[in-house]
Structure 1
Amino acid sequence: MKRVIVGLSGGVDSSVAAYLLKEQGYEVIGLFMKNWHDDSVTISDECPWLDDSNDALLVAEKLGIPFQTVDLSEQYKERIVDYMFNEYEKGRTPNPDVLCNREIKFDVFLKIALSLGADYVATGHYCRKETIIEDGKEIHRLLAGKDQNKDQSYFLCQLSQEQLAKTLFPVGELLKPEVREIAAKQNLVTADKKDSQGLCFIGKVRLPEFLQQKLQPKEGDIIEIPSSEEMYLREIPNFSSKQEELEFLSTKYKYAVEYGKVVGKHQGAHYYTKGQRKGLAVGGTPEPLFVIETDVETNTIYTGQGKHHPGLYRKALFITNEELHWVRDDLKIEIDEELEVMARIRYRQPLEKAKLYQIDSGIYVVFENDQSAITEGQFVAWYQDDELIGSGVIS
């Protein structure tokens, strides 16, 4: 019997994952990760860790599997929270869920599991793993979950072959309603529990309050840029090289206060992100305002009216080599090579046709269609059919 340690989060997906593994004949142990102590910034009735750990314990008792809690809050603070503050300070928008998977669940947690004699760890993620043999070597493919509506492969876009080798995704072949049905049939306490939102394993966090612990509020101007601004009408020049064209397509617009008018005040540019609509508290415009750029140096937010404002759109983005990651090393491209892929720049975004171009300092991702709110610090992930093969941080 192979031993599997399941990250029991107190939700329905990981509960059913544990049940399925037990049914398949594995020796299953449940482990709950406590990642957070500060209740002052969590919306406590939304998803307190205490309720979650109690639910995880009840599930383990019902399934008759051993259960324990591990406190990873120190590592979580170091690797996730401090990183987030650092990124926000630089005016980038990090994705804590992708990081939590790479740094906590499939690193710190995985190492604890292996030290407890586990052969694998398992989670309740909606994705699938398939292992193939090429040239006598095992290659682990990370595939989208069968439930298109719940597919979570994007959140695992930074995993390595070593991590995938030790991982199982028992609910990846199921649809969400089937998972709930199994939980109800087994009388698991989590059967009807609603899905948790918010930072990985923290619960719902009030982001401004959370950031204010570290980043002090500072009043600045909200500037509205008209969609008729001249820079949006720029002509596409003749390029002397492919790289020059790629640079042009991926360069963002440079804004200055004099291009628009002051329409309001904000409490800190680092609290806002591109594409954001809520929280601006500026009324009286025919169409709602969207953030099109933030400048943390001058503490200015630039906005535009309506979701079709040209300032929101761009065709290409760049990833530096340091922040580039291939899940499938054997598929990575060399300098001057290109690759047709399907890609997304955020979770739940439908996949879009794109092309990768590798240069000496990094990789360009050029989309067939203009993309809204390409945001620095977020992850872009690319696929071939339903296999996620690589990702990177948008620079």
Structure 2
Amino acid sequence: MKRVIIGLSGGVDSSVAAYLLKQQGYEVIGLFMKNWHDDSVTISDECPWLDDSNDAMLVAEKLNIPFQTVDLSEEYKERIVDYMFHEYEKGRTPNPDVLCNREIKFDVFMKIALELGADYVATGHYCRKGVIEKNGETIYQLLAGVDINKDQSYFLCQLSQEQLSKALFPIGELTKPEVRALATKLDLVTAEKKDSQGLCFIGKVKLPDFLQQQLKPKEGVIVEVPKEQDVYNSIETKFNTIEEKLEYLSRKIDYKVDFGKIVGKHQGAHYFTKGQRKGLAVGGTIEPLFVIDTDVEENVIYTGQGKEHPGLYKKALFVSNEELHWVREDLTLQVDETLPVKARIRYRQALENATLYKVDSGMYIEFENMQSAITEGQFVAWYIEDELIGSGVIS
């Protein structure tokens, strides 16, 4: 019997995943990851990880599998929390869920599992793994989950071939309603449990509250930039090379306070992110205000009215070589090569037609359609059909 260690999170997805593995004849061990125990920052009396570990334990009992808890909070603080603070300080918006999978579940956790004699590590993600042979080599594929509404391949976009080789995703062939129905039939305590929201470690906390623990509030101004601002009137430019054109399309506009009028104050530009609408507390505009850019150096937030504001839209983005990652290393592009793909810049976004252009310093991604709120620090992932082949941090 092959041994599988599954990350039991106390949610319905990992519970059903554990059951399916048992059905498939694996020796299954449940492990609950405790990622956070600094109560000074949870800012609420609820202790979500205690409830979750309790539910995970009840599921393990019900399925009759061994169960234990591992404390990864130290690694978590170093690799995820500190990184997040660092990114926000630079005015970028990190994605902790993608990092948590790369750094914790499929690295720290996986190493513990392998030390415990596991052949595989399993999670309750809605995605699938494929295996193909190419030139005599075994290649692992990261495929979208069957449930298009729940597909979570994006969150695993930073996994490597080595990590994928040891990973199992038992519920990837099921839809969420099927998973819930199965949990109900098995009478699992997690059957009706709501999906966890918010950061994958600090429970029910608003991000600004959490960031305020380390990034001190600092008053600054909110500027509203009108749609008619000259900076949006792009002059027909003749480009000598495709790279020049892509550089232009992906450029960051250098906003100045006199581009618009001051409409309010804020408590720190680093708490805000592009495309954000809530939390500005500025009234009296015809259409709602959206953040179109933040300047953490000068501590200014630039906003525009309405979700069609030109300041929100761009057609291309850039990923530097250091932050470029190929799940399918065999498909890596060389300089001057291009590749038509489908891509997304955030988890819930539908896949969009795009083209990859490899240049010396990194890679441009040009979309067929304008994209709203392309945000530095977030991940872009690209696919061929339903296979995620690579990803990178938007620079």
TM-score bucket (shorter structure): over 0.9
Q: Is the 8 A contact 1:274 1:375 kept in 2?
A: yes
Rounded to whole Å, the distance in 1 between the matches of 2:133 and 2:43 is 47
Instruction: Find the counterpart in structure 1 of residue 69 from structure 2.
Output: 69
SS at match of 1:276: coil
- Alpha-carbon shift at residue 41 of structure 1 (Å): 3.4
Q: 1:252-308: per-residue Cα shift (whole Å, max 9, x none)? A: 211100110000000000000000000000000000000000000000000000000
Measure, in 2, the Cα distance between the counterparts of 1:387 and 1:47. Answer: 37
2:161 is the alignment partner of 1:158: no
Q: CA deviation at 1:44?
A: 4.2
Contact 1:252 1:314 in 2 (8 A): no
TM-score, normalised with respect to structure 1:
0.99
- Among the aligned pairs, what percent are the same residue? 78
Q: Which residues of 2 match residues 374-389 of structure 1 at below 5 A?
A: 374-389=374-389
1:22-171 aligned at under 5 Å gives the runs 22-42=22-42, 44=44, 48-171=48-171
What 5-or-longer segments of structure 1 have no aligned partner?
none
How far off its partner does 1:43 sit?
Answer: 5.9
Equivalent residue, structure 2, for 1:182: 182
RMSD value, Cα: 1.0
| Cα 1:84/1:374, change in 2 over 3 Å | same
The residue that corresponds to 2:298 in the other structure is: 298
The residue correspondences of 1:243-262 to structure 2 (distance < 5 A) are 243-262=243-262
Take 2:302 and 2:202, find their aligned partners in 1: how far apart are those partners? Answer: 31
Aligned residues: 395
Residue 334 of structure 1 deviates from its aligned partner by 0.4
Match of 2:330 in 1: 330
Note the alpha carbon deviations across 1:22-41, whole angstroms, 9 max, x for none. Answer: 01100000000000012343
Residues 348-359 of structure 1 aligned to structure 2 (within 5 Å): 348-359=348-359
Name the SS for the 2:311 alignment partner.
Answer: helix
Amino acid at match of 1:13: D
Specify whether residues 236 and 203 from structure 1 end up closer, same or farther in structure 2 by C-alpha distance, changes over 3 A only. Answer: farther
Secondary structure, in 3 states, of the residue corresponding to 1:172? coil
Kindly provide the amino acid, as one letter, of the partner of residue 328 in structure 2. R
The amino acid across from 1:127 in the alignment is C
Amino acid at match of 1:177: P
Corresponding position of 1:343: 343
Partner Cα distance (1:44, 1:132) in 2? 48
**Distance in 1, Cα, partners of 2:45 & 2:339:** 47
Give the AA of the match of 2:356: L
Q: CA deviation at 1:231?
A: 1.1
1:308 aligns with 2:287: no
- The answer as to whether partners of 1:41 and 1:206 remain within 8 angstroms in 2 is no
Any stretches of 5+ residues in structure 2 without a counterpart? none
Post-superposition offset of 1:372: 0.3
| Contact kept? 1:47, 1:196, Cα under 8 Å | no
Letter aligned with residue 275 of structure 2: G
Q: 8 Å contact 1:219–1:267 — kept in the other structure? A: yes
Aligned residue in 1 for 2:281: 281
Of 117-126 and 40-49, the range deviating more from structure 2: 40-49
Q: How much does 1:45 deviate?
A: 6.7
* Aligned residues of 2:198 and 2:206 also touching (Cα < 8 A): no
| d(CA) in 2 for partners of 1:210, 1:229 | 35
Deviations 1:30-65, CA, capped at 9 Å, x for gaps: 000000012343364777100000000000000000
TM-score normalised to structure 2 length:
0.99
- The DSSP-based 3-state class of the residue aligned with 1:9 is coil
Q: Deviations over 1:125-166 (max 9, x none)?
A: 000001111111110000000000000000000000000000
Cα distance in 2, alignment partners of residues 47 and 180 from structure 1: 24
Q: Does structure 2 retain, via aligned residues, the 8 Å contact 1:42–1:206?
A: no
What is the Cα deviation at residue 7 of structure 1? 0.1
CA distance in 2, matches of 1:276, 1:295: 14
Instruction: Go from structure 1 to structure 2 and tell me whether the alpha carbon gap of 1:18 and 1:392 turns closer, same or farther (over 3 Å shift).
Output: same
Residue aligning to 2:267: 267
Amino acid at match of 2:75: Q
Q: Distance in 2 between matches of 1:193 and 1:154?
A: 23
AA matched with 1:197: Q
Q: Do 1:12 and 1:179's aligned partners in 2 also have CA atoms closer than 8 Å?
A: yes
- Partner in structure 2 of residue 215 of structure 1: 215
